[in-house]
Amino acid sequence: MPNTKCDNSSDVRNGWINGFIGVVIFSASLPATRVAVLEIDPIFLTLIRAVLASVLAIALLLVFREKRPQRSDLTSLAITSFGVVIGFPLFTALALQHITSAHSIVYIGLLPLSTAIFGVLRAGDRPKPAFWVFSILGSAFVAGFALTQDVGSSWTGDALMLIAIVICGLGYAEGGKLSRTLGGWQVICWALVIALPIMLPLAVYYMPTSFENISQSAWISVAYVSMFSMLIGFVFWYRGLALGGVASVGQLQLLQPFFGLLLAATLLGEHVSWVMGLVCLAVVFCVAGAKKFS
């Protein structure tokens, strides 16, 4: 028998389907965040989306009567929570006050690479030298694109997006490692739960004095990033990784910049230049090469 995690063709097919759905859900995160931060403070947005997602996570854990994580899992859960519950949402929300979602989506092409690098550091893998060639080349494409942009305050937005990508890569890698023992979607649920005691009182503290000036589209965006980006997307994503294999299904994440640019152009009417498209294509090529030799 082949020594693979998924030797059933039906499981593999379902894994790709679930992974694809997860990527599509994540692709709308930055455009939705862009809409929300135009009217809502990014710190409060980060807090309230985590609080709302935590309520849903608690409900899921109770319905399925999931066992509590071991004490030894708490450190990994805290790192995962810092990466995907707090860090990435916060820094992307701050970045999107200075840059468009189309501009920020270019950086998402580096997220699989960031995850792979932290996977190497956490798991002790020794990739081939070609891995680092593609890694450096992909980073150079993104840095070159950022340097060619003449947009006010874009340096701030670019720096915040880079921080967000690094932190999210750490959270993905740590959560992926922990999912081997704790379970896939359970990891994000418990990461949300342990963040709730911090996020809830802070959300109350940073709550605006009035919500009258917040439009319906902004509230829809808040609902999306809370329910789908923070929780439901991870349910499909981790299920896809479990059924189809992390290495293979993880390649679907390379499609996220293209979906994101399409949404930014169609839903927000943002201009997507041919340079952005070329950079996305180049980054996808470099990340694919890096993953191949990881």
Pick left, alpha or beta for residue 41 (phi over 0 → left; psi -120 to 50 → alpha; otherwise beta).
beta
Asked if the structure places residue 7 within a domain, the reply is no
Average pLDDT, the chain: 85
d(CA 37, CA 215) in angstroms, rounded, equals 11
pTM for the structure as a whole: 0.84
d(CA 137, CA 198) in angstroms, rounded, equals 39
Q: How far is CA 67 from CA 63, 107, 187, 230, 233, in A?
A: 11, 37, 12, 21, 22
CB atoms within 10 A of CB 209: 5
Q: Residue 2's pLDDT is what? A: 45
Q: Residue 105's pLDDT is what? A: 81
- Number of domains, the chain: 1
Residue 111 burial by Cβ neighbours in a 10 Å radius (0-12, 13-18, 19+): buried
Asked if the structure places residue 270 within a domain, the reply is yes
Asked if the structure places residue 4 within a domain, the reply is no
For the segment 138-189, what is each residue's pLDDT rounded down to a tens digit?
888 877 776 676 544 478 888 999 999 999 989 888 887 888 788 878 999 9
Q: Residue 292's pLDDT is what? A: 73
Dihedral (CA of 192, 198, 201, 206) sign:
negative
Asked if the structure places residue 112 within a domain, the reply is yes
Residue 280 burial by Cβ neighbours in a 10 Å radius (0-12, 13-18, 19+): buried
Dihedral (CA of 256, 184, 171, 173) sign:
negative
Which residues of the chain are modeled with pLDDT < 70? 1-8, 123-125, 146-147, 149-153, 245-248, 251, 291, 294
Provide CB contacts within 8 A for 87, sequence distance 6+.
Answer: 163, 164, 167, 168, 171
Q: Residue 1's pLDDT is what? A: 41
CB distance 7 to 19 below 8 Å? no
Asked if the structure places residue 44 within a domain, the reply is yes
Q: Residue 76's pLDDT is what? A: 92
Range of the domain at 248: 15-206+217-292
Phi first, then psi: what are they for 78, rounded to 5°?
-65, -40
